[in-house]
Structure 1
Amino acid sequence: MSSRLTFGTVKRAGAILLAVAIVVAAGIVVGQAPAIFGVEEDPQASITFEDQQGNGTAVTIREVTLSDGGYVVVTDGGDDPLAVSERLEAGTHENVTVEREDDATRELVGSLTATVHQDTSDEDGYAYAETNGDEDQPYLEDGFPVSATATVTSTDENALGDSFLVDSIDAPASATTNETIEVSARIRNPTEYRAEQPVEVRIDGVVYERQVLDLEGGEARNVTLETETRGAPPGDRTIGVYTEDGGAVTGIDLEFHTEPSVAVADASNESVTVSAAIPERGFVAVERNGTIVGTSDELAPGEHENVTVELAGDAEIGQDEELTATLYAGTPANASAASPITFEGAPVRTTFTLAEVTGDESDSDAGSSGGGADSGG
């Protein structure tokens, strides 16, 4: 083979290798495009919509956060909006008033849903309906629209028909999330006829106590409902007494009934079992060197035993590697966006090794590792 042929072959081989390198590099650049070119993450939002009383023309959204700005749209479960907010800039907004559409035939009372929508249209104003859903679509979380549902009771007696009325409510200003409280209300039958109707106590829209009341026509009665707060989320909440279409609400400050904590009961290379006292909806994460290697299922506020955290199959955790079990607020499906739960200014977590938990060590005491805020950190 001549040297010219050999040189040409080498040139072709070099060109092929160069082309392959360019393609690979391009793939890496494309894969890293969000980080390299500053492309933003998916738009995110949250909303707090509480039970309230109103005159049917407007509702108040306690808090809404939008990463890219947009609208709050209120419906009664149907496709047509009953009310749409003014355009909201990116950020957090409190006590947002959303007024009923001029052509809406239904008042803003009953069970209503408030959904956070993006602003993607070039035109001014909310354009979801007129573009057949192509523009101004809802913000999504785990594939579902970001929304909240609340019950709005009317202050107009004439609009309530045959429903019993709630003339007044008396509830404690504060309580813990693990006690029985007395909620009193004066209930009145506005009709001429004897009737039976349910009366409910709800905290942030969730029913915690229910009884059936029998009233003669025109009768009013003071009733007291003993209500268990177990499972209610701590914080500044709305508590209300409701009849079929009537109701009255007030505020209650709920304090978590115990110190938040997480303790390791058992561990292996596949999973970790813990007990947890978690003050808000969240999960337990096991971390190694600050990286999450496993999460539990989502947990409701309260105390939980035998919570399983499945570890990643490729984690390859050594017996003496230090691990941390931490309480997080948020959803395990979006663990990267969750926030550690803190108590007295420190994260609620505990550190451990597999050897410590299983007793496979010779130089230190065997046993479970447990703790509250920043225990063992």
Structure 2
Amino acid sequence: MPLPLYLLAMAVFAMGTSEFMLAGLLPDIASDLDVTVGTAGMLTPAFAIGMIVGAPLMAGLARNRPGRSSLLGFALVFSAAHAVGAATSSFPLVFATRVVAALANAGFLAVALTTAAALVLPGNKGRALAVLLSGTTVATIVGVPGGSLLGTLLGWRATFWAVAALCLPAAIGILAGIPARPMEEREPDGPTLRAELAQLKNPRLLLVMLLGALVNAATFASFTFLAPVVTDTAGLGELWISVALVLFGVGSFVGVAVAGRLSDQRPDLVIAVGGPLLLTGWPALAVLADQPVALLSLVFVQGALSFALGSTLITRVLYEAAGAPTMAGSYATAALNVGAAVGPLVAATTLSTGAGTLGPLWASGLLIAVALLIGLFLRSVIAVGRSTEVLQ
């Protein structure tokens, strides 16, 4: 894989740390800003909503600009938003900075996904995506638990400052390692923006985006509210939150690595095997959450399955959106973050039910069940994708 892919992954690591870090900081943020944990949890869907809106918007604005300058600008805005968030004591302002950071992250990821696909040979999009997403999975292994630990020791603001600082070397890497136009130059007779947006009328593309959104919704539904499960249900200390996040992150890295080798040629295999296992895992985690060993083991397994299935479906989005060479990355980003917005909202409604802190785990199982039912109607889409992708 080309070196620029790894430089992009380094920046994705910094941004992924921010996107996922709230899972371990919500109680501290809620206490400091004098809001409920459920209200603080809305910072996660706020980020996701900003990414949903920002992905096509930012990709459209950056469509005819050099890739390097776009990526650099997005990284710097992302850093600045976290510095402001760390310095304020106003929850509405923290909420606003999450939206701004999300817009920057959306633009970055949309351009980066399209760049990654253009840097490799046709038929290797899945492997390129796996390298790019390794930045996210390493964030869940190192960045997020490290941020949770830093927040436990020094407060949540220290974590925000750390993310702001972490973006700076990533920006230097982009400036030094990414060519001014890392993507193939668009031909004069290439698709217009209107033509690329018209790809969203393709039922195959929309169905794969929906399935990817549902799987990611299930992931974020439980991940966002994992901390109370670890401390309240399992009865473990706060430092065990970091352990759980590390295990989830290691699992996600394994899942993306395995799926990256299969998602180009055998996406049906990943979905057929991973889907039912993921469906079984969330209810099992809810039932066994009061047993620490079982809880931590299943957190690892669910991280692997969630990211294997999710990254495979997002790879399918890039293939199905081949007619939108500059906007395909934004469609993939939007699909991921529709799920990231919906998941915590659905999970939050379960916290006040009899299920309590286990409600989000049951909600994840329900979301996967819906995804698999829809997946029954997508078998032909995936099968056709296997036969046509080798021609691209």
Fold conserved between structures, TM > 0.5: no
| Bucket of the pairwise TM-score, normalised by the shorter protein | under 0.3
**Which has the larger helix fraction?**
2
Larger gyration radius, structure 1 or structure 2: 1
**Which has the larger strand fraction?**
1
| Structure with higher RCO (Cα < 8 A, 6+ apart) | 2
